[in-house]
Amino acid sequence: MNSPANITDPLVLFMPSGKRGRFPIGTPVLDAARQLGVYVESVCGGRATCGRCQIEVQEGNFAKHKIVSSNDHISPKGPKEERYERVRGLPEGRRLSCSATIQGDLVVDVPQDTVINAQTIRKAATDRAIERNAAVQMCYVEVDEPDMHKPLGDLDRLKAVLAKDWGWKDLRVAQHLIPEVQKILRKEKWAVTATIHKDMEFSRATLIALYPGLKNEAYGVACDIGSTTIAMHLVSLLSGRIVASAGAPNPQIRFGEDVMSRVSYVMMNPDGREAMTKAVREAVNGLIGEVCEQGGVDRNDIFDSVFVCNPIMHHLFLGIDPTELGQAPFALAVSSAVQGWTHDIGIEVNRGARFYLLPCIAGHVGADAAGAALSEGPHRQDKMMLLVDVGTNAEIVLGNRNHVVAASSPTGPAFEGAEISSGQRAAPGAIERVRIDPETLEPKYRVIGVDKWSDEDGFEEAAKATGVTGICGSAIIEVVAEMYLSGLISEDGVVDGALSARTHRIIENGRTFSYLLRDGEPRITVTQNDIRAIQLAKAALYAGIKLLMEKQNITGVDTIRFAGAFGSFIDPKYAMVLGLIPDCDLSEVKAVGNAAGTGALMALLNRDHRREIEREVSRIEKIETALEPDFQQLFINAMALPNKVDPFPRLSEQVTLPPRSAVSEEGGSVESAAPRRRSREERAARRGRS
Question: Is 337 or 641 the residue whose CB approaches a second copy more closely?
Answer: 337
**Inter-residue contact 570 to 316 (CB < 8 Å):** no
Residue from 218, 320, 603, 663 binding a second copy (CB under 8 A): 320
- Of 283-291, 329-337, 372-380, 534-542, the segment contacting a second copy by CB under 8 A is 329-337
Taking CB under 8 A as the criterion, the residue among 44, 207, 259, 332 binding a second copy is: 332
* DSSP-assigned states of every residue in 118-142: TTTSTT-SS-EEPPPB-SEEEEEEE
Contacts 24+ apart (CB under 8 A), 441-446: 441/486, 441/488, 441/499, 441/502, 441/503, 441/505, 441/506, 442/503, 442/505, 443/479, 443/482, 443/505, 443/517, 443/518, 445/475, 445/517, 445/518
Residue 328 is a binding residue for a second copy (CB under 8 A) = yes
The rounded distance, in Å, linking the Cα atoms of 276 and 658 is 27
Q: How far apart are CA 105 and CA 59, in angstroms?
A: 8
Smallest gap from Cβ 282 to a second copy, in A, equals 18
CA distances from 548 to 397, 406, 575, 661 (A): 8, 7, 18, 20
- For residue 562, the cross-strand partners are 388, 591
**Identified binder of a second copy from the candidate list 123, 286, 341, 496, rule CB under 8 A:** 341
Beta carbon nearer to a second copy, 331 or 465: 331
Give the Cα separation of 277 and 315 in Å (integer): 9
Burial 504-539 (b: 16+ CB within 10 A, else e): ebbbebeeebbbebbeeeeebbbbbebbbbbbbbbb
Question: Measured from the CB of residue 164, what is the shortest distance to a second copy in angstroms?
Answer: 16
Applying CB under 8 A, among 202, 553, 646, 656 the residue interacting with a second copy is 202
At closest approach, how far in Å is the CB of 181 from a second copy?
A: 6
Evaluate the CA torsion angle 54, 58, 64, 67 in order and state its sign.
positive
Q: Does 310 bind a second copy (CB under 8 A)?
A: no
Q: Does 149 bind a second copy (CB under 8 A)?
A: yes
Nearest to 261, CA basis, from 248, 276, 271, 249: 276
Residue 104 or 544 with smaller CB distance to a second copy: 544
CB of 260 or CB of 565, closer to a second copy: 260
CA distance 345 to 358: 16
Is residue 305 part of the contact set for a second copy (CB under 8 A)? no
Q: Which listed range, 321-329, 476-484, 488-496, 539-547, lies at the site for a second copy (CB under 8 A)?
A: 321-329
Binding mask 614-653 for a second copy (x = CB under 8 A): --------x-x-xx--------------------------
Which residues are CB-neighbours of 72 under 8 A, at least 6 positions away?
A: 60, 103, 104
- CB nearer a second copy, residue 170 or residue 439: 170
Amino acid at 168: W
Q: Which of 201, 439, 521, 653 binds a second copy (CB under 8 A)?
A: 201
What is the smallest separation between the CB atom of 481 and a second copy, expressed in angstroms? 34
226 in Cβ contact with 249 (< 8 Å): no
The nearer residue to a second copy, 47 or 622, going by C-beta atoms, is: 622
At closest approach, how far in Å is the CB of 359 from a second copy?
A: 9
Site string for a second copy, 540-569 (x = CB under 8 A): ------------------------------
Measured from the CB atom, the residue of 309 and 345 that comes closer to a second copy is 345
- The residue from 251, 319, 642, 688 that contacts a second copy (CB under 8 A) is 319
For a second copy, the binding residue among 64, 204, 254, 502 (CB under 8 A) is 204
Q: Which element (helix H / strand E) includes 385?
A: strand 385-390
Angle, vertex CA 688, rays to CA 541 and CA 369, nearest 5: 35
Q: Which stretch binds a second copy (CB under 8 A): 74-82, 215-223, 359-367, 586-594?
A: 359-367
Query: Phi and psi of 303, rounded to 5°?
Result: -115, -10
Closer Cβ to a second copy, 231 or 620, answer by number: 620
Do the strands 219-225 and 229-236 form a parallel or antiparallel pair, or are they unpaired?
antiparallel
Could you say which of 9, 81, 154, 368 contacts a second copy (CB under 8 A)?
Answer: 154
Site size for a second copy (CB under 8 A): 52
Kindly give the pairing relationship between strand 128-129 and strand 115-116. antiparallel
Q: Determine the interface stretch with a second copy among 319-327, 467-475, 608-616, 666-674 (rule: CB under 8 A).
A: 319-327
Cβ neighbours of residue 23 closer than 8 Å, sequence gap 6 or more = 2, 5, 9, 10, 12, 31, 32, 35, 102
| Bridge partner list, 518 | 524
Question: 3-state class of 147 per DSSP?
Answer: strand
**Which helix (H) or strand (E) covers residue 235, if one does?**
strand 229-236
Rounded-to-integer distance, Cα 236 and Cα 216, Å:
10
| DSSP3 helix / strand / coil % (the chain, rounded to 5) | 35, 25, 40
Q: Closest distance between a second copy and the C-beta of residue 323, in Å?
A: 8
Omega cis (within 30) before 642: yes
Cβ neighbour number for residue 466 with a 10 Å cutoff: 16
CB of 354 to a second copy, least distance (A): 11
Q: Does 4 bind a second copy (CB under 8 A)?
A: no
Residue 204 CB, nearest distance to a second copy (Å)? 7
Q: CB 618 → a second copy: shortest distance, Å?
A: 9
Residue 270 within binding range of a second copy, rule CB under 8 A: no
User: Looking at 358-366, 432-440, 478-486, 550-558, which segment touches a second copy (CB under 8 A)?
Assistant: 358-366
Say how far apart CA 244 and CA 225 lie, in whole Å. 17
Q: Which of residues 119-148 bind a second copy (CB under 8 A)?
A: 145-148
Stretch that binds a second copy, among 18-26, 130-138, 233-241, 314-322 (CB under 8 A): 314-322
155 binds a second copy (CB under 8 A): yes
Smallest distance, a second copy to C-beta of residue 466, A: 44
The site map against a second copy for 166-195 (x = CB under 8 A) is ----x-xx-xx-xx-xxx------------
Q: Which residues bind a second copy (CB under 8 A)?
A: 145-156, 170, 172-173, 175-176, 178-179, 181-183, 201-202, 204, 318-321, 324, 328-336, 338, 340-341, 344-345, 360-363, 622, 624, 626-627
